[in-house]
Amino acid sequence: MKVSDCGYENQGFANRPLDLGATARLAVPHGPLKKDIETDVLVVGAGITGAMMADALAGTGLRVAVVDKRGPAKGSTTASTALVQYEIDTPLIKLARKIGKRDATRAWRRSRLAVDAIAARLGELGVPEVARRDNIYLAGDLLDAGELEREHDARRAAGFASRYLDRKALRKRFGIKRDAAIMGYGNLAIDPRKTTLALLQAAVANKVKIFAPATIVDLDAKRSGVTATAGNGRRIHCRHLVFATGYELPDRVPRDGHQIISTWAITTVAQPRRLWPEQCMIWEASDPYLYLRTTSDGRVICGGEDEEFSDEAERDALLPRKTRTLQRKLGRLFPGIDTTVAFAWTGSFGSTDTGLPIIDRIPGLPNCWVALGYGGNGTTYSRIAADIISGALTGRPDVDADLYQF
C-alpha cells in the first residue's frame, strides 16, 4: 500500500500565524530513523492528535514510536485557531435528526468529557496559555432565534448548562445586535503548538521515541503485525499502527462522507481595551460561519469562510479576499473593534457529513487505525481518538467507540 503524500510541503498555511515564542523550552527530543526498528505501536503524525495518542499510550507498558515527515507540531496543528469546544459544529437538534437523539446526546456528552479531560491533562503538565472560556452561539442562517431556543431546550434536556439570550439580553450583556444567542460554559482556548510539544515531551519522558523527518511511504499490514517503510528505506515493524496524519489521508482509507475543507483566519492588532465583555468565544450558527476568540495579549482571532475544496494554490490565492471578508464581518459584529490585521493564514481540515470524526480500524488493513475528519472540533476529537484507540490497544474497549466507526 502506498501512503499518499498529497504534495503538501507548505505546513498547511499560507502566512505564518503568530510566532508564539518560548518554544525552545518545549523542544522535543527527536532524530532521524537511521535503522530498522521494532515497536508495539507506531503513531504516524506528530501533530496534536499524534501527541495526545502518544501521551495516552505512554506508560501503558507498550513500546511506542512516533514518526513525522516534517517534525513535531509542524502540520496543520500550527494553523489551528484553537477554540477547544464541546459544542460540536453540528447543533444537537440537527445531529439528532441525522443519527438519532440518543446517539447525538452521547456524542455531545462525550465531547464535554473530552474538553474537561484536555483541561485536566494540560493543567497537570503546566502547559502555558490555557484559558477557560464560555461560548456564545449566535442566531444565523443555520438556526434562527426560534430554532436556537429549541437547541437550548435540547441541550438543557441532555444535561448541559445553557442560557438563552433574546435580542435585548444579548445586546445589554455583550453589545451584540443579533436576534438571539445561547451560551455554553467551560470551553478552552489553548496554544496548539505549545500544547502539542508539551504532550510529546511528556510522552518522551515516558520512553516514547520520536523519529523525524521520516515519511511513511509503504505499508504491509498482516494479522501478525504491520511493517511500515519510510522514505529512506528503513522499516518499522509494529503490532499496531495508528494514522494521526490530519487531513493527509493515507490511500485505502475509505473516503465516503469525508471532505477536505479550506478555511481562513486572521488575528488583529492587540487592543485589550476594546474587547467585548467576558471575552467569550463566539460562534455563528451560519453557513459559512464566523467564529471569534481573544488571545492573552488582547488580540482578536477571527476565522471561518470555509469552502469545500482541497487545492492548496487556489486556497492560498483566496487569502487576501477572505481576509477582507473576515475583517468586514468582524467590524459589523463589533463596530468598536480595530480590524487591522496583524496575521492572516489559511489551512485545510477534514470533515464528515455528521461533523463527527471517524476513529476506527481501517477496513482491509489489519492492525491499522485511523482518526479522521476533524473539522472545527479537531482538538476535542483528537482527545476522543486518543482515548478510544489507546483503550482498544490496552484491552479497555470504549463505550462510545461505535459512534465514530466507518
Ligand X SMILES: Cc1cc2nc3c(=O)[nH]c(=O)nc-3n(C[C@H](O)[C@H](O)[C@H](O)COP(=O)(O)OP(=O)(O)OC[C@H]3O[C@@H](n4cnc5c(N)ncnc54)[C@H](O)[C@@H]3O)c2cc1C
Residues engaged in binding ligand X (CB under 6 A): 3, 44-50, 67-70, 74-77, 79-84, 215-216, 244-246, 248, 263, 265, 303, 347-349, 374, 376-380, 382
Contact (CB, 8 A) for 261 and 308? yes
Question: Closest approach of Cβ 198 to ligand X, in Å?
Answer: 14
Q: What is the largest CA-CA distance in the chain?
A: 66
Q: What is the C-alpha to C-alpha distance for residues 193 and 205, in angstroms, rounded to an integer?
A: 18
Q: Which is nearer to ligand X, 339 or 351 (CB)?
A: 351
Question: Closest approach of Cβ 76 to ligand X, in Å?
Answer: 3
Q: What is the C-alpha to C-alpha distance for residues 365 and 187, in angstroms, rounded to an integer?
A: 36
Question: Closest approach of Cβ 171 to ligand X, in Å?
Answer: 26
Q: Which is nearer to ligand X, 76 or 339 (CB)?
A: 76
- Which of 120, 85, 90, 83 has the alpha carbon at shortest distance from 105? 90
| Orientation of helix 101-125 relative to helix 378-393, angle to 10° | 90
Amino acid identity of residue 5, one-letter, is: D
Q: Which is nearer to ligand X, 60 or 215 (CB)?
A: 215
Question: Closest approach of Cβ 70 to ligand X, in Å?
Answer: 4
Residues in CB range of 399: below 8 A, 6 or more apart: none
Q: Which is nearer to ligand X, 104 or 371 (CB)?
A: 371
Residues in CB range of 405: below 8 A, 6 or more apart: 358, 359, 360
Q: What is the C-alpha to C-alpha distance for residues 49 and 233, in angstroms, rounded to an integer?
A: 26
Question: Closest approach of Cβ 303 to ligand X, in Å?
Answer: 6
Q: Which is nearer to ligand X, 6 or 145 (CB)?
A: 6
Give Cα separations from 100 to 44, 95, 103, 404 (angstroms): 33, 7, 6, 14
Question: Closest approach of Cβ 192 to ligand X, in Å?
Answer: 7
Q: Which is nearer to ligand X, 111 or 164 (CB)?
A: 111
Secondary structure (DSSP) of 338-368: ---EEEEEEEEEEEESSS--EEEEPTTSTTE
Question: Closest approach of Cβ 188 to ligand X, in Å?
Answer: 9
Question: Closest approach of Cβ 347 to ligand X, in Å?
Answer: 3
Q: Which is nearer to ligand X, 162 or 377 (CB)?
A: 377
- Which of 232, 231, 216, 225 has the alpha carbon at shortest distance from 67? 216
Decide the pairing of beta strands 258-268 and 281-284. unpaired
Q: Which is nearer to ligand X, 267 or 380 (CB)?
A: 380
Residue nearest to ligand X according to CB distances in the complex: 378
